[in-house]
Amino acid sequence: MSNVIEARGLSKSYGSFAALKNVSFSIPFGRIVGVIGANGAGKTTMLNAILGLTRFDGDLQVLGQDPRMDRARLMENVSFISDVATLPRWMKVSQILDYVESVHPNFSRAKALDYLARTKIPLAKKIRALSKGMVTQLHLAIVMAIDARLLVLDEPTLGLDIIFRKSFYASLLGDFFDHDRTIVVTTHQVEEIEHILTDVMFIRDGEMVLYETMDDLAEKFFEVTVDAEKGEALRALNPISETSALGRIQFVFEGISREELKKYGEPKRVGLADLFVAKMTGGQS
């Protein structure tokens, strides 16, 4: 088994609304894949299918298993953080650690405690007495302490301050990720995860419009900013987006070589957020 996830013709509809439309992709082991899309694009529906939380059409294999048929066995090797941390509010922090330790064979209490030691969460406090950010931190500590082969993160740092967000992603690389594990993450804070990704997937209206390695993106997409008088020459090269500000025009190109673009200006790497806007909207302004 060379791929952790294999999807062929993955589709999901809610009545007349098609949330996913014939999506196909493969994710190998040892990758960190960012799934980027606007609200309602189909990101969470795709993650729910991977986790066996929703029915779907098409073929989907996760760790060699069909999530519709083998979810209980599959989840022994999968961890998941949703955009809304849901933990039993009547339990104390120490009690939730007791519970997870008793039901999950791959949970390390020592790792969870080490992670919690970096926060201000008291073990004796009930979850309902914690702030929203603390509940999210607790959820992260539990999930990160599970020895899973696949980690699925749906807006994992929503509601957390920037210091903890940066600490979380550093821990993700230092304490969890290795070449035998795979991480799939969605977030609207694209700039914060760009540096950790190996691959990126753009979804729009239930369809996959881009799936590339970060290395390939750097060679396939360039931006060039020029004075307005050079605009017509660059428009002839069919840019995928064009934006204007302060008398200068920024173009984003796909599949045009760096050498060709150097005739007009200095080609630069396109940031992931700017590339997303370019692919989704054309960036006209």
Size of the chain in residues: 285
- What would the pLDDT profile of 41-60 be if each residue is shown by its tens digit? 999 999 999 999 999 999 99
Average pLDDT of the chain?
89
- What would the pLDDT profile of 83-122 be if each residue is shown by its tens digit? 666 788 999 999 999 999 998 888 999 999 998 998 899 9
Quick one: average pLDDT of 159-172?
79
Q: How many whole angstroms separate alpha carbon 276 and alpha carbon 36?
A: 8
pTM of the model: 0.87
Tokens 């083998």 locate to 70
User: What's residue 150's pLDDT?
Assistant: 93
User: What's residue 282's pLDDT?
Assistant: 61
How does 153-162 read in b/e, with b if 16+ C-beta sit within 10 Å?
A: bbbbbbbbee
- What would the pLDDT profile of 8-54 be if each residue is shown by its tens digit? 999 999 999 999 999 999 999 999 999 999 888 999 999 999 999 99
- Whether the pLDDT of residue 191 is over 90: the answer is no
Q: Are the C-beta atoms of residues 268 and 222 closer than 8 Å to each other?
A: yes
Domain positions in the chain? 3-205, 217-281
The domain 3-205 having CATH identifier 3.40.50.300: the answer here is yes
- Whether the pLDDT of residue 220 is over 90: the answer is yes
For residue 265, report the phi and psi dihedrals to the nearest 5 degrees: 180, -170
Bridge partners, 28 (sequence order): 3
| 92 token code pair | 């104390």
Q: How many whole angstroms separate alpha carbon 26 and alpha carbon 66?
A: 14
Reported confidence tier of residue 187, pLDDT bands at 50, 70, 90? confident
